[in-house]
Chains A and B, each alone.
Chain A
Amino acid sequence: MKPKEYLKDHIVTYLVRSCCVLAAIIFLLAFKAQSSLIFVLCFIALISFLVTDIYEYRRKKDFYNKLVLSLKELDKKYLLPAMLEEPSFYEGRLLCDILSECDKSMLENVSDYKRQSKEFREYIEMWVHEAKLPVASLTLMSKNAGDNNEKMSRELKRIDDYIENVLYYARSESPMKDYIIKETSIKKAFNACAMKNRETLQHTGASIQTEGLDAQVMTDAKWLEFIFGQLISNSIKYADDKRPLVIRVSADKSGTDTILKFKDNGIGIAAADLPYIFNKSYTGRNGRKDAKSTGMGLYIVSSLLERLGHKISVSSEEGKYTEFTIIFTENNYYSELRQ
């Protein structure tokens, strides 16, 4: 609370008071009162005004200053009503009541949305589970029919990938903690994912080189597998027709961190697009050339990694390569637990 602003705000009060005092003086002068009497009366009036104003100002200043300070320091501003101390003056109490009423209504609203989003999440999980059954049946039927139909199994794989995307998008957006962080072998996750994509990779004539993947990191294995799947499918999608695709995956220890690199020799990403590729729905120049791009894959990857507490970055040279780097930080809490 600034004194100047406070005074400005009360300008009407002061004007009315001055007018009254002036009127009283004129009145007293008209009745020929002694000037010393006028002087004393004016003095008493002034004192009473000053005392009441200072008292009022201080009372409010304490309350509002505390309020402003709490608001500034709060990381989640909406928690303010919980920090309020009921003040001694009426307007303040009114404000407190109003704020806590608002807060209550907002909390109800938020919990409604939370419930809705949770129900939606559960429905997606169930839907994904159901949708996978016919895909599994079709995969077996195609095999049982005896025609080793690669085209069919590739299309089935595509359906399965789209289904997974929905699931992981829902997971990445949900506030629920539904992952398990445990010691995970990068190799196991990558190999499971490579195996899933084997037919597509073989069809494109890609070769895969791995190095140092024996490293163990603290992460959720299934999420990591999905992330690898996205990176592989991007590499295939943006492969350069002029040369066979080579994917190089390597892991390295750096202090307590594990640095995972995923590099391909595809068409690369334009420098202008590079800073935005993890943004939601961003397709960039490569994406616009390819109608299948939704701009969601890398967004989901980066938000999953963020939730797991890992970092991802990208470097690329157009026409040469794209390299993703994921940093797994050794979590002190977990490493202590293991000892």
Chain B
Amino acid sequence: MQKKIFIIEDDKTLCNELSILLEKQGYLTEKPKDFETLPNQMLSSDADLFLLDITLPGQNGEFLLRDFRSRRDTPVIMLTSRTEELDEVLSMSYGADDYITKPYNPTLLLLRISAVLKRSSKGTSASHTYRGVEVSTLKGSLLLNGREEVLTKNEMIIFNLLFEKQGEIVSRDELMTVLWDNDEFLNDNALSVNISRLRSKLAELGLPDAIETRKKQGYVLK
């Protein structure tokens, strides 16, 4: 099912670019009709997630968030160009699920959105078997017919991302963003090394062609 994201941003250009970005990723988007009746629009919307700017015409996103939070618990990600610690502290204490400063890295923004959505819809996690291989994120290993291949933290992060988007191209940029977001500061060479190690571990389990390289685009898990 397609998830719907409500974008509350008063800069029209930015708002449009955001909705293009999200729609390209398969999300539905909704924009506010006007800013006066925003609280009601938010309450009556069926969106799965809200992107909320802090500085809006005539109102403050933080107070909007607080009022909204007291009635509904749909995830909210705050977007802001203000870089004051106070804003972040306030937003988080008013119940924001994440806080991102402009100009955001688009890959990171998408990553955070999908992470927040995943957190809010827990229990619907997809099956943890990939072509008969049991994926254990907790143990950090792949299991097939009693044969176990232990993955390093980096390999597990890479495999999980490819697995989540099975059949789609995952760019090196996306992989890097996820790795760095998990405090693993790999450089280009290290990423290549990790991928080839992951490949050989999958080959050990009898899946030598699992990860396909798409030149200049990225990788696909078949």
A and B, one complex?
Answer: yes
Asked if A19 is at the interface of the complex by the 8 Å CB criterion, the answer is no
Q: Is the pair B14, A136 in contact by a Cβ cutoff of 8 Å?
A: yes
Asked if A133 is at the interface of the complex by the 8 Å CB criterion, the answer is yes
Known: A129-B82, A144-B21. A202 touches B187 (CB 8 A): yes
The listed residue (B13, B173, B187) touching A206 by CB distance below 8 A is B187
Asked if B108 is at the interface of the complex by the 8 Å CB criterion, the answer is yes
Could you tell me the distance in whole angstroms from the C-beta of A150 to the nearest C-beta in chain B?
Answer: 8
Asked if B122 is at the interface of the complex by the 8 Å CB criterion, the answer is no
Asked if B104 is at the interface of the complex by the 8 Å CB criterion, the answer is yes
Q: Is the pair A141, B188 in contact by a Cβ cutoff of 8 Å?
A: no
Q: Is the pair A195, B105 in contact by a Cβ cutoff of 8 Å?
A: yes
Q: Is the pair A207, B185 in contact by a Cβ cutoff of 8 Å?
A: yes
Q: Is the pair B81, A187 in contact by a Cβ cutoff of 8 Å?
A: no
* Interfacial residues of chain A within 146-176, with CB under 8 A of chain B in the complex: 148, 156, 160, 164, 167
Q: Is the pair A139, B104 in contact by a Cβ cutoff of 8 Å?
A: yes
The listed residue (A133, A220, A222) touching B102 by CB distance below 8 A is A133
The listed residue (B21, B173, B176, B180) touching A140 by CB distance below 8 A is B21
Interface residues of chain B, those whose CB is within 8 Å of chain A, are: 11, 13-14, 17-18, 20-21, 24, 55, 81-86, 88-89, 102-108, 171, 173, 176-177, 180-181, 183, 185, 187-190
Q: Is the pair A205, B14 in contact by a Cβ cutoff of 8 Å?
A: no
How many A-B pairs with Cβ below 8 Å?
Answer: 98
Could you tell me the distance in whole angstroms from the C-beta of B218 to the nearest C-beta in chain A?
Answer: 10
Q: Is the pair B185, A179 in contact by a Cβ cutoff of 8 Å?
A: no
Known: A187-B183, A202-B176. A140 touches B105 (CB 8 A): no
Known: A180-B85, A195-B108. A139 touches B103 (CB 8 A): yes
Interface size class of A (residues with CB under 8 A): 35 or more
Q: What residues of A have a CB within 8 angstroms of the CB of B81 in the complex?
A: 128-129, 132-133, 136
Known: A136-B14, A140-B21, A141-B17. A221 touches B105 (CB 8 A): no
Known: A202-B176, A221-B85. A140 touches B185 (CB 8 A): no
The listed residue (B11, B13, B185) touching A194 by CB distance below 8 A is B185
Residue of A nearest to B81 (CB): A132
Q: Is the pair A144, B20 in contact by a Cβ cutoff of 8 Å?
A: yes
CA distance A182 to B84 in the complex (A): 13
The listed residue (B24, B55, B176, B183) touching A191 by CB distance below 8 A is B183
0 or 1 for each of A223-250: is its CB under 8 Å from B? (1 = yes): 1001000000000000000000000000
Could you tell me the distance in whole angstroms from the C-beta of B175 to the nearest C-beta in chain A?
Answer: 12
Residue of B nearest to A249 (CB): B185
CA distance A137 to B81 in the complex (A): 12
Asked if A115 is at the interface of the complex by the 8 Å CB criterion, the answer is no
Could you tell me the distance in whole angstroms from the C-beta of A210 to the nearest C-beta in chain B?
Answer: 7
Q: Is the pair B177, A140 in contact by a Cβ cutoff of 8 Å?
A: no
Q: Is the pair B173, A205 in contact by a Cβ cutoff of 8 Å?
A: no
Could you tell me the distance in whole angstroms from the C-beta of A176 to the nearest C-beta in chain B?
Answer: 12
Q: What residues of A have a CB within 8 angstroms of the CB of B189 in the complex?
A: 205
Q: Is the pair B185, A133 in contact by a Cβ cutoff of 8 Å?
A: no
Q: Is the pair A222, B88 in contact by a Cβ cutoff of 8 Å?
A: yes
Could you tell me the distance in whole angstroms from the C-beta of A301 to the nearest C-beta in chain B?
Answer: 16
Residue of A nearest to B171 (CB): A148
Q: Is the pair B102, A135 in contact by a Cβ cutoff of 8 Å?
A: yes
Residue of A nearest to B190 (CB): A207
Q: Is the pair A137, B17 in contact by a Cβ cutoff of 8 Å?
A: yes
Q: What residues of A have a CB within 8 angstroms of the CB of B89 in the complex?
A: 180, 182
Q: Is the pair A140, B24 in contact by a Cβ cutoff of 8 Å?
A: no
Q: Is the pair A144, B17 in contact by a Cβ cutoff of 8 Å?
A: yes
Q: Is the pair A198, B177 in contact by a Cβ cutoff of 8 Å?
A: yes
8 extra interchain contacts, Cβ-Cβ under 8 A, other than A132-B103, A136-B102? A133-B11, A136-B104, A178-B84, A198-B180, A201-B185, A207-B190, A210-B183, A222-B88
| Subset of 9 A-B contacts with CB under 8 Å | A132-B81, A139-B105, A195-B105, A198-B180, A201-B187, A202-B188, A207-B190, A220-B85, A221-B88
CA distance A200 to B109 in the complex (A): 19
0 or 1 for each of A201-220: is its CB under 8 Å from B? (1 = yes): 11001111010000000001
CA distance A133 to B55 in the complex (A): 12
* Interfacial residues of chain A within 119-134, with CB under 8 A of chain B in the complex: 125, 128-129, 132-134
Q: What residues of A have a CB within 8 angstroms of the CB of B187 in the complex?
A: 201-202, 205-207
Q: Is the pair B86, A180 in contact by a Cβ cutoff of 8 Å?
A: yes
Q: What residues of A have a CB within 8 angstroms of the CB of B171 in the complex?
A: 148
Q: Is the pair B14, A164 in contact by a Cβ cutoff of 8 Å?
A: no
